[in-house]
Every structure is written in structure tokens, then in C-alpha cells.
Amino acid sequence: MKMMRISMVLLIATLVLACGGVPEEKAAEKESTEKFNDLADEEGFAESHDEPLELDVSALGSMQKIPMEAGNEANIYSVKREGTKNFVLVFHEWWGLNNHIVAEADRLYNELSEVDVTVIAIDLYDGNVATSRERAGELMKSSNTQRCENIIASVLNEIPDDANIVTIGWCFGGGWSLKGALAAGNRTKGCVMYYGMPVEDTETLKELNSDVMFIYAEQDEWINQDVVDKFKVNMKSAGKELNVLSFDADHAFANPSSEKFKEQAAQKANVKTVEYLNERLFNQ
């Protein structure tokens, strides 16, 4: 019996090695997709987010549903330009796809004047929108990584294979902007992350087809200098370019529906963002 137990242990060890350490890779992947979500439980994180102010929006586009392989549907907000091969994917904050994100999608559609674009804001909360910190924390913590990845995959299935894709997101959506850029493969031409949690695994980052613009607030206690420095090291190890912009502001400084909104910093960040996205799409 003792020899049998030893043999079984050796067999399991051999299988793990033969699979190239898959359990370790899965652990790293879990960290990269759920690390930001875990911040909802940290003291002071929810309080650092001002509850969103009411925002009236006259939408240029419309909410739509797209099919998914599982038979259910995903929600998107889309401002379409017929016949274009240029797409901007927008990822919402921890509040969900609210009027602020609709307004951001419309603004990007208008400001990306050098190219014809379709802008798609992706709903990773399946129609749920938070108006309180408590609800936002619940939605973020309960968001399922696989479900979010399936939603993004379904959106990408609706986009032509020869399209040019750029991504942008804030807070919770900042991390998903990077994940969306990875999922889009060789169609990706650019990625903008506003104070989101980066993917840490360098082997995964090697799969990026573009550089990344990373925007963060120097007063942010969570997406801080340590996070930025680690991202720089990981991107360099992956052989990818990282453009970092920092502002003397706090988390969510670019959100005009937040009391932490800093107009001057937000405007500067937006100018750089629009220049970056125009260049990545216009020069294809």
C-alpha cells in the first residue's frame, strides 16, 4: 500500500509537470482579473468613490443586445458608423454602464474626428447599474471573470476580422480595457487604461498587439506608484511599450459625475487620450 501511495504521488507530479505548471498559470490569471475586485473589501476603497451625480444625456446611439453562444444575450451601447473598420471598445467603471459611460462613448465618437469609428460600450454587469457605493461593491465583487470574458468575446465576434480596434476603460473597466485588448488579438491597435489594475503575467502581456497608455492619479491609494512601477517592469520584460501619464489628483478624477473630478487634469488626460487613439487608428 505504501508503494502504491508513492506511485500515485509520482504519477500526479509527472502529470502536473507535463502540463507545464498549469495550476500556477491559473493562479496568476485569477490574480490579474480579480485583484481589483478584491479592493471592494478594503477599508476606505468604497469611501474613496463619490456616489455618481445625476447626469442627463441625449444619447447619440442606442442600447442593443447581442447573441452569445450559451443562448443568452449581452448588452452594449453602440454609436455606429456604417461601413467603418475602426472600433472603440469602452469599459465602464464599477458603477456599471450608466449615463456617464454613455456620455463618454458619445464624446469619443465626436472627438475621434480624424477617423470614422463605431464606439461600443460593453456592459459587464448584465444590465445592473449601481447608484450607491455598497451596490457598486457588490456588483464588482460578484462579477464573474469567465462571464465577462464571454461577453467581450461575443462583442468581438460582431466585429470584422480585418477591423482596427482600440480599447479604453476607467477604474474596474481600466483593467478590462487591457483584457479586451488582449482578447482582440492582432486587431488591437491601442489600449488606454485609466487607473485600472494591470495584468501581471509577462507571458500574457507578450500576446499584446499594441502599446498601452496608462493614466493614474498620484493621490490614488490603490492604483499607486508601486502598481505603476511593477507594470513598467512587466511590460518591459514582455517587450511591450508602456506610456504612463500621472496627474496630481485622486482616483476617479476623470469622471465628471464624481465630486473628485478635476477638470484641468481630466481635460489634459483627455487631450492625450484622443491624440493617442486618433494616431493608432488613423495611421493604419
pLDDT digits (tens, 9 = 90+) for 21-39: 434 444 445 555 578 888 8
166 pLDDT higher than 50: yes
2-11 average pLDDT score: 39
Instruction: Look at 31 and 169; give whichever has higher pLDDT.
Output: 169
Interatomic CA distance for residues 62 and 59, integer angstroms: 7
Instruction: Enter the DSSP assignment of 235.
Output: H
Beta bridge partners of 76: 64, 122
Average confidence (pLDDT) over 80-85: 93
pLDDT at residue 31 in the model: 53
Cell of 138: 457588490
Cβ partners under 8 Å of residue 144, min gap 6:
none
Q: In this structure, are residues 199 and 182 in contact, taking their beta carbons and an 8 Å threshold?
A: yes
pLDDT at 53: 73
pLDDT value for 15: 35
pLDDT for residue 32: 57
pLDDT in tens, 112-130: 977 899 999 999 999 999 9
Does residue 5 lie in a domain region? no
Residue 11 lies in a domain: no
Q: What percent of the chain has pLDDT over 70?
A: 88
pLDDT band at 271 (very low <50, low <70, confident <90, very high): very high
Residue 19 covered by a domain: no
Whole-number mean pLDDT of the chain?
Answer: 87
Query: Does residue 258 surpass a pLDDT of 70?
Result: yes
Spatial CB neighbours of 32, under 8 Å, sequence gap ≥ 6: 175, 197, 198, 199, 200, 201, 204
Q: Which domain holds residue 200?
A: 33-282
Mean pLDDT of all residues in 207-233: 97
pLDDT at 256: 87
What's the confidence (pLDDT) of residue 28? 47
**Distance between CA 90 and CA 277 in Å, rounded?**
12
pLDDT at 284: 66
Quote the pLDDT of residue 33.
56
Specify the pLDDT at position 10.
38
> How does pLDDT run across 93-108, given as a tens digit for each residue?
999 999 999 999 999 9
Weakest-pLDDT range from 39-53, 140-154, 222-236? 39-53
Greater confidence (268 vs 17) lies with 268
Strand pairing partners for 88?
119, 166
Number of folded domains in the chain?
1
| Chain Cα centroid distance, residue 145 | 12
Residue 149 dihedral angles phi and psi, to the nearest 5°: -65, -35
pLDDT confidence band for 43 (50 / 70 / 90): confident
Per-residue model confidence as pLDDT tens digits over 175-205: 999 999 999 999 999 999 999 999 999 999 9
Q: What is the DSSP string of 258-276?
A: STT--HHHHHHHHHHHHHH
φ/ψ (deg, to 5) at 232: -60, -45
Is there a contact between 253 and 265 (Cβ–Cβ < 8 Å)?
yes
Is residue 21 assigned to a domain? no
Quick check: is 23 in a domain? no
Q: 125 versus 15: which is more confidently predicted?
A: 125
- Could you tell me if residue 16 is inside a domain? no
Please tell me what DSSP assigns to residue 85: -
Distance in angstroms (rounded) separating the CA atoms of residues 2 and 47: 56
Task: Compute the half-sphere exposure of residue 222: CA atoms within 13 Å on the CB side of its CA.
Answer: 24
Q: What is the 3-state secondary structure (H, E, C) of 179-230?
A: HHHHHCHHHEEEEEEECCCCCCCHHHHCCCCCCEEEEEECCCCCCCHHHHHH
- The answer to whether residue 7 is domain-embedded is no
If you average pLDDT over residues 150-176, what whole number do you get?
A: 97
Is the confidence at residue 19, as pLDDT, over 70?
A: no
Could you tell me which residues are beta bridge partners of residue 213?
192, 243
Q: Is residue 14 part of a domain?
A: no
Q: What is the CATH number of the domain that holds 56?
A: 3.40.50.1820
If one compares 45 and 89, the residue with the highest pLDDT of the two is 89
Confirm if 41 and 136 have CB atoms less than 8 A apart: no
